Homo-oligomer: A and B are copies of this chain.
Amino acid sequence: MARSRITPEREAELYAAVLDLLGEVGYDALTMDAVATRTKSSKATLYRQWGSKPELVVRALRSNKPVAFEEIDTGSLRGDFHAMVAATDDCQLEKDSALMRGLAQAIHGNPDLHQAMRELLIAPELTGLDAMLRRAVERGEVREGHPALPYVVHMTVGAFVARLLIEDVPPDRAFLSDYVDAVVLPALGL
């Protein structure tokens, strides 16, 4: 795979620069030229490694996630959810919220960005979440076919979006932790 030609350190450096630029100028104004200048690399290298601007941006966002669902397996569903929350930090959540807010705006005019987000960011999350929930079913914590199982993602998205929309503050760990105990686990019968 082309991506293996650069070191993980260099990759991390590039992703950090992309996220900085994204926060500074937004998706639409972010150019591959600017990324090349900022990271002292050639545009040809960027295109060879990432193919396109949406893919570069979305891979940078993905690298930024503190932890993926698939890395977590504490032995209980409650443990898994709280491990997810504990792996984030409030400062990071605030920065992420600002980035995602800008991107939510950008996807309207950029179907290729929307597509890249679905494939590289949302689909792996959904797969990881499904695996986490399947383990809970296999352990007997949640009943097979429980009606709330397909909606865990909706509950979770609501926590993030409604907090921003209504309270105008990004979610923080205390809020997410309380939401897991007050909403997600009880809806699943735990």
- Give residues in A with beta carbon < 8 Å to B: 101-102, 104-105, 108, 122, 126, 147-148, 150-151, 153-159, 161-163, 165-166, 178-179, 181-183, 186-187, 189
Expressed in whole angstroms, the minimum distance between the Cβ of A180 and any Cβ of chain B is: 11
Q: A109 to B159, alpha carbons, bound, how many Å?
A: 24
Tell me if B126 and A155 are in contact (CB < 8 A).
no
Closest to A159 in B: B154
Partner among B122, B155, B181, B182 whose Cβ is within 8 Å of the Cβ of A183: B155
**Chain B residue with minimal CB distance to A26?**
B108
* Residues in B neighbouring A154, C-beta threshold 8 A: 155, 158-159, 162-163, 179, 183
Bound-complex Cα distance A165 to B154 (A)? 10
Contact B147 A157 (CB under 8 A): no
* CB atoms of A156 and B153 under 8 A apart: no
Minimum CB–CB distance for A30 against chain B, Å = 16
The answer to whether A157 touches B162 (Cβ under 8 A) is: yes
**Chain B residues near A165 (CB, 8 Å)?**
122, 157
B162–A158 touching, CB < 8 Å: yes
Which residue of B105, B108, B147, B186 is within 8 Å of A182 (Cβ)? B147
A147 touches B181 (CB 8 A): yes
Q: Which residues of B contact A178 (CB under 8 A)?
A: 147
Q: Contacts A147-B181, A187-B187 given: A156-B158 contact, CB under 8 Å?
A: yes
Is the CB–CB distance between B126 and A182 below 8 Å? no
| Known contacts A105-B105, A162-B158; is-contact A186 B153 (Cβ 8 Å) | no
> Which B residues touch A161, using CB under 8 A?
157-158, 161
- Within the assembled complex, what's the spacing in Å between the Cα atoms of A157 and B161? 7
Chain B residue with Cβ nearest A165: B157
Nearest first, the 5 closest Cβ-Cβ pairs linking A and B are A158-B158, A147-B182, A157-B162, A154-B162, A154-B158
C-alpha gap A86/B183 in the complex (Å): 24
